Every structure is written in C-alpha cells, then in structure tokens.
Chain A
Amino acid sequence: MGAHAPCRLRALGMVNALGARPDEIWQGLLAGDQSRLTRREDLVPGRSLLVGEVRSPLPEIPTTLRRYRCRNNALSLAALFALEAELEAVIGEVGRGRVGVVMGTSTSGVSDAEAALRHNAAHGVLAPGFDYPQLEFGGAAGFVAAYLGSEGPVYTLSTACSSGARALASARSLLALGVCDAVVAGATDTLCGLTTNGFCALQAVSDELPNPMSANRKGLTLGEGSAILLVTREEGGIQLEGVGESSEAHHMSAPDPAGGGAESAMRGALRDAGLAPADITYVNLHGTGTPLNDAMESAAVVRVFGEEVPTSSTKALVGHTLGAAGAMEAGFCWMMLARASEGHVALLPHVWDGRRDTALARLRLVDKGERARVEGRVHLLTNSFGFGGNNCALVLGRELAC
C-alpha cells in the first residue's frame, strides 16, 4: 500500500435495477441477469427507451425533511437503510460533529422538477410540495446530512460519470486531513427527461440491449440507483487503497480517442496504492458500450495491464447510472471483496453477444462462473470516465485469509 492513512470502506448500501438488497444484487451480477432492464415510453418522445429503472418500492422521506422530497433522495434513503445498523454504531462512536457527507450526482431531483414544470404548464403553478433543495445539486448531500444529523462537512460533487468515484476520493482525503472521523460517501442518480433526452441528442443511446466491447455495440443504456459507503479511518477490512484522477483537455462530450486520460487515471491509482499492474486481480470497466468509450478504454487498459487481466462492464446489467456509476461500481468491487473466501474471488461476468470487435485492443472479458485464485492481499480497480473529460480510477483491496 502507498503511504496513506487507512481508509476503510466499512459498509455498503445499494439500490439499482437488480434490487435493493445486497444478496439480490449480488445474485443478479453473478447470473448476468439482463431481465431487469425494461422499456420506458415516457422519457424520450417517439422512442421506447431501454433503461435500468429501479422497480423496488422506495422509502418515504420523513415529513420534517419534505423540502428534500424527491426520487433521487428516496433512492439515497433506500441505500442508507441497508447501512443503518453500521451507521448508528459509527455515529455513536464518533459523534455527529465528526461525520461528513460527500455525495455525487449528475441529476439531483431533476425528474421531480420536470414533474413540477408539467404541473405549472397545466395549472399555472409549480406542483405543490416542490421545493428548490429537491433540484439543486447540493441537496443530494444536504438531504443525507440532514437525515443523519451530521454536523461535519457536507457537499455534492458533480463531475458527470466520475462523480461517485470522486466522492470516495474526497472522503478518504477528509479523513486523512482529520476534518472528520467517518464519511458517508456515495452517489445517486435518477432517470429523468433531461439526461435521457440529452444523451439521445448526443446519439449515445442504444435501442438494443447493452453490448459493451462488442462489434455490434450501439451505445449505452441509461440506469438509475444509489450506492453509499460508510468510510472510516480504520485499518483492516476492505480498504480504498488508491485514487487516480485526470482531466483530458480534449472535448466537452467525447473522450480522447487515444485514451490518454483514462490511462493516466489508472496509472495514478496504481501509483497511489503503491501497486504494480500485475497486482490487480480484476478491472471493472467504465464500459459504456459507446463506440468511442470502448475503443479508447480497451486500448488504455491493455497499455497499462496487458491482455491478461480479467475485466468486465457491469453496465450491461444495471445500465449506466451516470453520476452514481463510480460509487455503484466501487460497490460491486466491495461486494466481490466482502464475499471472497478460501483464496478465491468470484469475478463479475461480462454480458454481451460475444462478437469481438477486432478493431479494439484485446481485453480478457470474464465469463459467467469464473473465479480468480488469490493469495494474501487482493486488489481490484474500477474505472469512471466522465463527460467533459473528467476521469477517476479507484483501487480497492482486502487481506484474504487462505
């Protein structure tokens, strides 16, 4: 490990198209279950859009916090419920004044603002109950902090698709700075008209099942959900070992085709963790399924790791949850590490049509049922590459008893 203060990812709460319970989500991931991707007719005019929508019932936001009542925050609350026992224990230990909240989002409550505006168009007033904290980006962390009674630092990062990864990076630094003793860090995004129409306008969205890295890939499938981790300055357990960040100075909505920014983020994360490429057991790809992302990412991954490291894109199962994706996929790596035992870690399958694109660098894509044999410490890397050229790679690791 690099020369860092410890940064333990102590507990995880998550909700996405695969479910709201960790075991349910884990089984869906291992099975490569794409059946939860469903169609919505109401998001983009004239288009039946395949999406990773959360179908689980969501908890109601308490009346005292109604200014924050929106779908995005209800998704966060669903993720927080899974964390409740650990959260109570940690808040009891360190006190509310020492608990920080850093969330990522690219949507906040935009879907509720859209509904409020539809109400305005029909009735001449915004929908009753609509309030500004539901819409503003800062409300994503503001809600979680208000719900927990946190008096530590509270802010929301919004760097498009790297927001969630960046929230974990900031959490680690806040702990290292001593500003707080625990951070509730994660990210949430909601399907809404703005992002679905926006990504369709950019011609980035596929009408078919997501098919990352395939010769037949036609773009991404949008999703929604929340992944929230409880982060503490403790040794042991699952650690956030490395953070690598970069910008691209290239284009507002397209990645550098050479993958320079992606490569620099991955190498930065390895350097930060004090690891060599060969130490990484698995790479969770950004893997959006757009022609450009997959071309540049496969090239960058092969340059850093060679062709042998197992990789997969879990976006084929839950969709691209945009601002939440970085935390979601760090959460998937967390689940892999939490469930690793007896010298083995189950790898997450890459679900696609198996038609290799010969124009892409050759990645080793994980098949269903694959496990990796590991000894001692196991390390996983996850990639997040955002709109506007904002990249973040994270390394998570854990000591395994053989």
Chain B
Amino acid sequence: MRRWAAWAPGLADAEAWQAWAKEPRPIGCEGSPEARFLPPLLRRRCTALSRAMLQVAFEGCPAEERSEVRTVFASRHGENKESFPLFEAIAKGQPLSPAKFTHTVHNAQAGLFSIASGNRQASSSLSGERDTFASAFLEALTHLEREPTRSVLVVMGDVAIAPLFAPLLDESEAAYAVALLLSREGEGTKLGFELVPGTKERGAGGARPDLAWPQALEFVRWLHCERTPRLELGVGPRTFRWHRR
C-alpha cells in the first residue's frame, strides 16, 4: 500500500486520524468535504458522497498518476439517500431530472473521477453488504491480477441512507471515505491479504461484527497500530485477514 487518505466529519488530516486511532469513537453522519479542486460545474452537481469519495481519491493518489491508475469505487449504500426524492417523484407521477438520475447511479463516483482526472483506465464500482470494504480490497487485487504493473486506487465511502430505510439497517451509519493506493511493487506498507472461508478460524481479537465504526476505518486504525501484526474483518461466513509483511 503506497498511500492512503481518509475523511470523516471532523477528521480531515493525518494528525486527526492519528488521534482517532488512539481513541476511536463512532463517526458522525453530518457534513461533507468541499472538494475545491473540482471544476465548479462538476462540483455543483456532486452529491455529499461524491465529494467525500473524490476528496480522498485525489488526496490518496499523486496528481501525476491520477489519469493512469485503475480504480475501484465501493459503497455499501451508494446514493440511497439522494435516490429517495426520485422514488417520491415516481410515486407522484412527476418527471425525473435527468441529471439527478445520472448522479445517483452506483458508478457515478467512478464516472466523475474519470472525467475530473482524465482517467481512461478500467474501473469497478461495487457493493458487498457489511463486507463492502474487504470486497473492494479483493476486487483491487483482481485488477492487479489483470494488469500487474499498474497501480489500483481503492475508494470506499458511505453516507447516511434515507431516514425511512434506516431502521432496517444492520449496522451503525457514518459519513466517511477512505482511499488506498495499491501496487504489487514499490515503497510503502507491505501487506498480505487472505480470505479464510468460514468463521471457525477467527482468533481472539479477530473479526468484529459489532464495530461501532465502518470496517474501512478499522483498517485505517490498524494502519496506525504498528505493533498489531494482523487485522481480521468479516461479518458473514468468511473472514478477511491482513498482515504486515
């Protein structure tokens, strides 16, 4: 992992994240970064989720590489909240705004990043229930498999979902985005990753389905805890394991 960046309400720089890693607390749902680097026309159309994901994507990838990396954009909920007014419009028989429809598709952030950075490389957008972050990491490895010499930028983010659906949700909500720049070779933190089928092998301090903050931020916390050799995440009948090499 060559570089990372993260944003959450009140947590915008490396120092803030270091402090949070020492004393983690639940993440809020309010606010979004300004993403001032975006051209005004594009920025005006960006949702809160798009601003957060593009903010960390730009911070997590050096300018000279932004048009060259493959990308994986991941979000469990995507634009659920922004889609809600569209559902209401449909229920009332009102016409949809084409721009709003376009900006609520699940790969909206991938499209925006491609346009904002002039990137013409392969890009995935995915979702994987409560294991979305680990799935995004794995999808990035599939890109490294397809093209071993090119770096992959993983961008994971979520915001609160529509209030009407929120009571149905099986994990706490948070607004945040995390970007990781991964490559097979080069400087940075050397990571190993494996997927262990089943739940039996989870060791003590292993996968924690009851985390009060998103998996991606638990990963960020682990990056700061250099004396902890392993991280295990996973909610379903499978465990994702990272270790420092």
Residues on A lying within 8 angstroms of B by beta carbon are 45, 95-98, 106, 113-114, 117-118, 120-121, 126, 130-133, 135-139, 141-142, 145, 151-160, 166, 169-170, 173-174, 176-177, 179, 193-194, 197-198, 200-203, 243, 245-253, 260-261, 264, 272, 386-390
Contacts and interface: CB of A to CB of B under 8 A. Distances in A.
Contacts of A173: 141-143, 145-146
A53 B121 CA distance: 34
A158 B86 contact: no
Interface in B214-245: 236-238
Contact of A153 (B121, B127, B135): B135
Residue from A114, A151, A174 whose CB has the most chain B CB atoms within 10 Å: A151
A388 B108 contact: yes
28 contacts: A114-B87, A114-B90, A117-B88, A121-B91, A136-B76, A145-B236, A152-B238, A153-B135, A154-B236, A154-B238, A155-B128, A157-B125, A157-B139, A158-B78, A169-B146, A173-B141, A193-B87, A194-B83, A194-B90, A198-B101, A245-B122, A247-B110, A247-B111, A247-B122, A249-B115, A249-B117, A252-B112, A388-B111
Shortest 4 CB-CB distances between A and B: which pairs? A97-B197, A388-B111, A245-B122, A173-B142
Contact of A390 (B90, B111, B118, B128): B111
A169 to B, nearest CB: 7
Contact of A264 (B86, B91, B115, B120): B120
A160 B136 CA distance: 17
A123 B112 CA distance: 39
A193 B77 contact: no
Nearest to A120: B164
B128 A138 contact: yes
Contact of B120 (A126, A135, A154, A246): A246
Contacts of A97: 197-198, 238
Contacts of B138: 153, 155, 174, 179
Contacts of A152: 195, 197, 238
Interface in B62-86: 67, 71, 76-78, 80, 83, 86
B107 A388 contact: yes
Given A132-B169, A249-B117, A158 B195 contact: no
A201 B98 contact: yes
A160 B127 contact: no
Contacts of B142: 169-170, 173-174, 177
B107 A249 contact: no
A61 to B, nearest CB: 17
A113 to B, nearest CB: 7
B123 interface: yes
Contacts of A386: 107
A15 B128 CA distance: 24
A252 B108 contact: yes
Contacts of A174: 138, 142
Given A155-B127, A249-B120, A388-B107, A201 B114 contact: no
Nearest to A166: B124
Contact of A139 (B91, B97, B129): B129
Nearest to A118: B91
Contacts of B98: 198, 201-203, 253
B168 interface: yes
Contacts of B108: 252, 388
A320 B118 CA distance: 28
Given A201-B97, A261-B120, A389 B111 contact: yes
A132 B124 CA distance: 23
A158 B126 contact: yes
A181 to B, nearest CB: 11
Contacts of A155: 126-128, 131-132, 135-136, 138-139
Given A198-B98, A389-B111, A138 B106 contact: no
A202 B168 CA distance: 32
Contacts of B126: 137, 155-158
